[in-house]
Structure 1
Amino acid sequence: MSLRSLVEQFLKFGVVGAIAFVIDYGILMLLSQVVCWDPVLSSAISFTVSVVFNYVASMRYVFTRREDLSREREFVIFVVLSIIGLAINSACIWAGTQAFGDGALAVTATKVVATIIVALWNFWSRKRWLEAK
């Protein structure tokens, strides 16, 4: 894959990721700030909802499907990789809220850092295990 193709793919990944982030962040803020649920629980729920959107959009617009994987197996791998991402996300949210509190600004800043870290994990892991060579 050429550098140009990789950059184009990463940009598509970024657009899908940005939409997934809006879904994730919106649900996170609704649950943690309006409903007053724990930010870590709220984050887990919002992250999970965004994974479903992310799977559909990523496998349709970003990555080339592997012919040796059924849709079911592809989805299972996607979910496993996303669960690892969720663990990274939750650890970041926990650490950030422990260090900076659970107000809207602290949760937002923590979520931005968590999103960057998880995005790097997601791109690398999906490219490694889900994309056709």
Structure 2
Amino acid sequence: MMLKKLLGAPSANSLIQFIRYVFVGGMAFVVDYGGLFVLAHFAGLHYLLAASMSYLLGMVCNYLISVNWVFHFRREAQWQREFVIFFLIGIAGLILNGFAISLLVEVFGLTYMLAKLVAAAFILFFNFGARKVLLFSAARTQSR
């Protein structure tokens, strides 16, 4: 029964959404990481340009799958506006990720690979929560 819920149509259940979002984030990471390798190694782009472009590819992948499979409700009627907000949340997550990695390496002495794993776990919750609240949940009615 749980597997059917996980694999089915978009769900209003927050736990199902989060599990799906973790899966989608993993797929977006594969697109991002693979894109970086292809663009830098085969296309010969500078690694920073390749990293930026591959990050955008991963973001688009994450957006398309999230709106079609993860989240049941969409607050924004215009997909362009929705994507911009989705993207800005991703950029905020990217900035927080960089800050967290620096803090974990410089202050706590973790290796950058371990710091990346720790930071990614926290940023996953940030991205999911911010996107759910700002884009994929019904607006709360104000008490009068």
Query: Normalising by the residue count of structure 2, what TM-score does the alignment of the two structures yield?
Result: 0.65
Output the CA distance in 1 between the equivalents of 2:91 and 2:124. Answer: 13
Q: Which letter maps to 1:127?
A: K
CA contact (8 A) 2:75 2:135 kept: no
Flag the structure with more relative contact order, 1 or 2, with Cα contacts below 8 A and sequence separation at least 6: 1
* Runs of at least 5 residues in structure 2 that lack an aligned partner in the other structure: 1-11, 139-144
Map 1:82-101 → 2, pairs under 5 A: 82-98=90-106, 100=109
Give the RMSD, CA atoms, in angstroms. 3.3
1:60 alignment partner, SS class: helix
**Structure in which a larger fraction of residues adopt helix:** 1
Q: Displacement of 1:26 after TM fit?
A: 5.4
- Decide which moves more: 87-96 or 109-118: 87-96
The structure whose Rg is larger is 2
Deviations 1:90-128 (A, max 9, x none): 112333443548xxxx33212111211110001110110
- For 1:129, the aligned partner's letter is L
- Aligned: 1:126 with 2:134: no
**Gaps in structure 1 of 5+ consecutive residues:** none
Q: Report the number of matched residues.
A: 120
TM-score by length of 1: 0.69
% identity of equivalent residues:
34
Q: 1:126 to 1:54 in 2, by over 3 A?
A: same
Contact 1:89 1:118 in 2 (8 A): yes
